[in-house]
Amino acid sequence: MSARTDTYDRGTIALHWLSAALIALIWLSAQVIDWFPPDAGRSTMRSLHIAMGVGFGLVLLARIGWRHTGGRVLPPADTGLLHLAGQAAHWALYALMIGEVMLGLANSWVRGDEVFGLFRIPAFDPGNRTLRRTVGGLHELAANAILIVAGLHAAAALFHHYVWRDGVLQRMLPGFRGGR
């Protein structure tokens, strides 16, 4: 494999890593919500989770807009089946991220939530525990699927870097400018 020196633009790189960081933080916050007592502590943690989810939704919209208007498109890193697998992973990540934001909004609406004591999201159907469990379960499933696909994406980037040594990972690293 030949070494690559082309890189993505700063906006694409920033949105990529901001998305990755928010996904990790949001997922971690969901894992610890129930560690807090069922009073102000849990409510604050849930509010933080919701606020980060809304923030992620805005970053995702910005990322999609940037990709279609200002982001630098690079030639594919691979050809053939590897190219198709990479494209499938990217499309799966975008679909999962969009679905997860929508499921997060639906989950807040189905549950009913108070956000930082500032406002209340009314419950859609307060007595419908089945709907609440279903939406919550789908929200959790999509979040875990994002982690799996993103993990495969990261593993592929590391494989490119350490095995093929083709410079593909550097295309998305902040501050790396290759041969430019």
Give me the pLDDT at residue 69, please: 92
Give me the pLDDT at residue 5, please: 53
Residue 145: name the closest of 84, 92, 104, 101 by CA. Answer: 92
pLDDT band at residue 180 under the 50/70/90 scheme = very low
Residue type, 160: H
**Predicted structure pTM score:** 0.91
The tens digit of pLDDT for each residue in 80-122 reads 999 999 999 999 999 999 999 999 999 999 999 999 999 999 9
Give me the pLDDT at residue 111, please: 94
CA gap 156, 71 in Å, rounded: 22
The tens digit of pLDDT for each residue in 15-74 reads 999 999 999 999 999 999 999 998 889 999 999 999 999 999 999 999 999 999 988 788
Give me the pLDDT at residue 179, please: 41
Domain 10-172 of CATH type 1.20.950:
yes
